[in-house]
Amino acid sequence: MSFRSDYDPSTYKSWELNPSTRESMMLFTKAYPVDKTLTTAGTAENIILVDKSNMATVNMITNPSCETMTSPATIPDGFTARRSTTLTQNGTYYDSTNVKGIYSLGVAVTGSHLIGEGAYWDLGAYPKDIPLALSAYARRGGSGTPKVRIELIAATTGITDVTNVRVAVGEEKTLSGSFQRLSLVSGVNRFTKILYITGASGTFSEDETITGGTSGATAIISTVGTGWIAIRGGNGTQFKCESSFPGIEVIAGSSTSYTATLTSSIISVLNNVNLYFAVVLSATLNGVNFYVDGWQAEALSQATTYCDGAQGYLHWWDGTANASTSRRWRKLSSIRSYRLHCTKDIYLGFNQDAAHAGTNAEDRGEYIPANTDFGEDHPIHLDTKISFVNAVDTEQPRVYGVIWGI
C-alpha cells in the first residue's frame, strides 16, 4: 500500500467538516465525556487534563496488532518472513499493556541465527521528502538475550540489480520477558550510495566499517550485494552520502579483513521506491525466538503513542477493523465549555488543583453544592485542567457530564 497525502497527520484539520463562519466562532468542536468518582477524600483529582503532547496521527499499518489472518492460515495478513524465519500468529505472548488485541507476530529463527532474520511489512511506494517514524513492541520467547532492531529497507533503488538495500537502522534492543518498544525515525531526502567492487578476497559483513587504502576514508556497510556494497555515513543510523572515497582504490573491512578494489560509485535517490519496515535480529548467535506486536508507521519526525482503531476515544479505523489504516484525533488543547453534575459538595479548580483544606476561596476553588448541574455555556479558555475535591470531610463525590473544547 503506497503513501497517500491523507496519511500525513499535519493535515488533521481537513479530517473535520469545515464549519460556517458563525459555527467556527463557537469553538465547541470536540466533546469529551467524563465520569469521575474521587478516589481519596481530601486529595484533588483531575476531571480533565489537557494533553498537548498527544498528537494526531495515522498508523499506515493495516494489521498492526496481528489480529487478522486469512491466507496462509498461520501468518497474520501483510507480514513476510525475512531470510530463514518462520512466522506465525501467536496467542500466548502479546502486549496487553500498550496494545489492545490478543495476538502478536511470532518469529522463529533458524539454527544459524543470522543478522537480519525477522519479519517485514511492505510500506509500498514512499516519497523521499516525507519523514517516516517506525515503531513496534517486542519480547523474547525463551530465556536467552536476542538483540533486535527495526530496519528500513528499500526493496528497489532505481539501479538495476541493486535491491533490498537497508536505508536506516534503529537502536539495538536486548529483549527480555516483557514487551519493550523499538523505534526508528527516517528523515527526508533518502538516498543511498553504491560502491562497485572487483577482486574481493571474501564477503564483507553488514555493519562492518570499511577503510580506503589511499584516502583513509571510512564508511559503514549497509548491504552486501554481488559486485557492489551499499554504504552509510559514520553515525551508524541514517544512511547518507559518503563523498570522500576516490573513484578507484583498495578498501578493507575492519572485522573480516577482506579487501576489494573500488572501481566506481553511484548515488541513488530513493524517491517513491517500495520500502520495507522490518524487525530483525541485529547480532549473530542470539538465536531465541521473539514476538512483535503494535506495529506502527507514521508520516512524522517522531514516533507517537501507539494508535489503532481499537484504542478507544478519539481513535478509529479508516475501514475494516484490523484490516485498514487507523487514525487518532488530537486531544483537547483548549477547554471551551463544560456541563457537569456532582453528587456531593465539591470544590472545583480551574488550571490548578482544588484544595479541600485551602484557607480561602482562591485556594479551595469554586464551591458547588451536592446534586447540582453546573457549567459554562459561553466560550472560556482553560489550557491545563479542571480538578475537583470533596468539600465535606471523608466524602467521595462523583462528577459526570461533558466537556467541550478544540
DSSP string, 159-177: STT-EEEEEEE---EE--S
List CB contacts of 22: < 8 A, sequence separation 6 or more: none
23 pLDDT band, cuts 50/70/90, is very low
Domain that residue 262 falls in: 191-268
Q: Write the pLDDT tens digit of every residue in 72-87.
A: 788 999 999 998 889 9
Q: Is the same domain home to 318 and 360?
A: no
Chain centroid to CA 233: 24
pLDDT at 284: 61
Cα 248 to Cα 250: distance, rounded to the nearest angstrom? 7
**Helix residue ranges, H only, 132-195:** none
Length of the chain: 406
Phi first, then psi: give them for residue 101, nearest 5 degrees: 135, 170
> Which of 91-100, 186-195, 337-346 has the weakest average pLDDT?
186-195
Which one, of 181, 120, 131, lies nearest residue 153 by Cα?
120
List CB contacts of 64: < 8 A, sequence separation 6 or more: 99, 294, 295, 296, 306, 308, 322, 326
Cα 351 to Cα 337: distance, rounded to the nearest angstrom? 14
Q: Work out whether strand 57-59 and strand 326-328 pair parallel, antiparallel, or are unpaired.
A: antiparallel
Cα 307 to Cα 55: distance, rounded to the nearest angstrom? 10
Q: Per residue in 334-370, is it b (16+ CB within 10 Å) or e — as a string?
A: bbbbbebebebbbbbbeeebbbbeeeeeeebbeebee
The neighbouring-strand residues paired with 220 are 209, 232
Residue 368, pLDDT above cutoff 90: yes
Geometric angle at alpha carbon 173, from 79 and 184, rounded to 5°: 60
Which one, of 94, 92, 93, 86, lies nearest residue 65 by Cα?
94
Average pLDDT over residues 145-150: 90
Q: Is the same domain home to 315 and 341?
A: no
Q: Is the same domain home to 387 and 339?
A: yes
Which one, of 222, 247, 248, lies nearest residue 235 by Cα?
222
Q: Is the same domain home to 73 and 46?
A: no
CATH number for the domain harbouring residue 99: 2.60.120.260
Chain centroid to CA 91: 22
Grid coordinates belonging to 316: 478509529
Q: Is the same domain home to 169 and 111?
A: yes
234 pLDDT band, cuts 50/70/90, is very low
* C-alpha pair distances (Å), 317 with each of 94, 214, 310, 327: 21, 56, 8, 6
Residue 236, pLDDT above cutoff 50: no
Cis peptide leading into 72, omega within 30 of 0?
Answer: yes
List CB contacts of 72: < 8 A, sequence separation 6 or more: none
Q: Write the pLDDT tens digit of every residue in 3-16.
A: 888 888 877 766 65
How confident is the prediction for the chain on average, in pLDDT? 88
Residue where a domain stops, chosen among 287, 305, 328 = 328
Q: Is the same domain home to 93 and 165?
A: yes
Q: Is the same domain home to 163 and 208?
A: no
Geometric angle at alpha carbon 110, from 109 and 111, rounded to 5°: 130
Q: Is the same domain home to 323 and 258?
A: no
Q: Write the pLDDT tens digit of every residue in 284-307.
A: 655 678 999 999 999 999 999 999
Phi first, then psi: give them for residue 93, nearest 5 degrees: -110, 105
CB 386 within 8 A of CB 342: no
Within 13 Å, how many C-alpha atoms sit on residue 109's CB side? 28
Average pLDDT over residues 240-248: 69
**How many separate domains does the chain show?**
3
Cα 343 to Cα 8: distance, rounded to the nearest angstrom? 44
Q: Is the same domain home to 46 and 148?
A: no
Residue where a domain stops, chosen among 233, 251, 268 = 268
Residue 71, pLDDT above cutoff 90: no
Q: Is the same domain home to 205 and 155?
A: no
Q: Per residue in 269-290, is it b (16+ CB within 10 Å) or e — as a string?
A: ebeebbbbbbbbbbbeebbbbb
Residue where a domain stops, chosen among 312, 328, 344 = 328
Q: Per residue in 206-215, is it b (16+ CB within 10 Å) or e — as a string?
A: bbbbbbbeee
Sign for the pseudo-dihedral over CA of 260, 264, 268, 274? negative
Q: Is the same domain home to 255 and 279?
A: no
Question: What is the model's pTM?
Answer: 0.82
Q: Is the same domain home to 126 and 211?
A: no
CATH number for the domain harbouring residue 400: 2.60.120.770
The fraction of the chain above a pLDDT of 70, given in percent, is 90
The fraction of the chain above a pLDDT of 90, given in percent, is 62
CB 391 within 8 A of CB 349: no
Residue 27, pLDDT above cutoff 80: no
